[in-house]
Structure 1
Amino acid sequence: MSGSGPKLFRFPIPLPALPSSAHVRAAGVYLAGGLFALGFWFFLDSAIYSKNFNGSDVHVRFVDWLPSLCSVFGIIVINSIDKAKLAGDASYSYGGDNVAWKARLVLFMGFALLAGGFAGSIVVLILKYIVPQYPWPTLYFGISNVIGNGLFMFSCVVLWISQNVEDEYSYSLSL
Structure 2
Amino acid sequence: MKAYVMLIRSIFIVPLLFIASEAFSQTELLLKLKFTSDDQVTKTISFYGDNIDPNISFQDEQFKIAIDGTDIDDIDIATFYRLKNLRRNLSYDFQTGGIEKLDNSSGVKCRLGGPASAIVLEVRYLTYDNSTIVSDEMRTVYDLPLNCLYSAQFKPKSSDAKASARGVIETLRTIDELK
The answer to which structure has the higher helix fraction is 1
TM-score by length of 1: 0.28
- Give the structure with the higher percent strand: 2
Q: TM-score, normalised by structure 2?
A: 0.28
Q: Which has the higher contact order (CA 8 A, sep 6+)?
A: 1
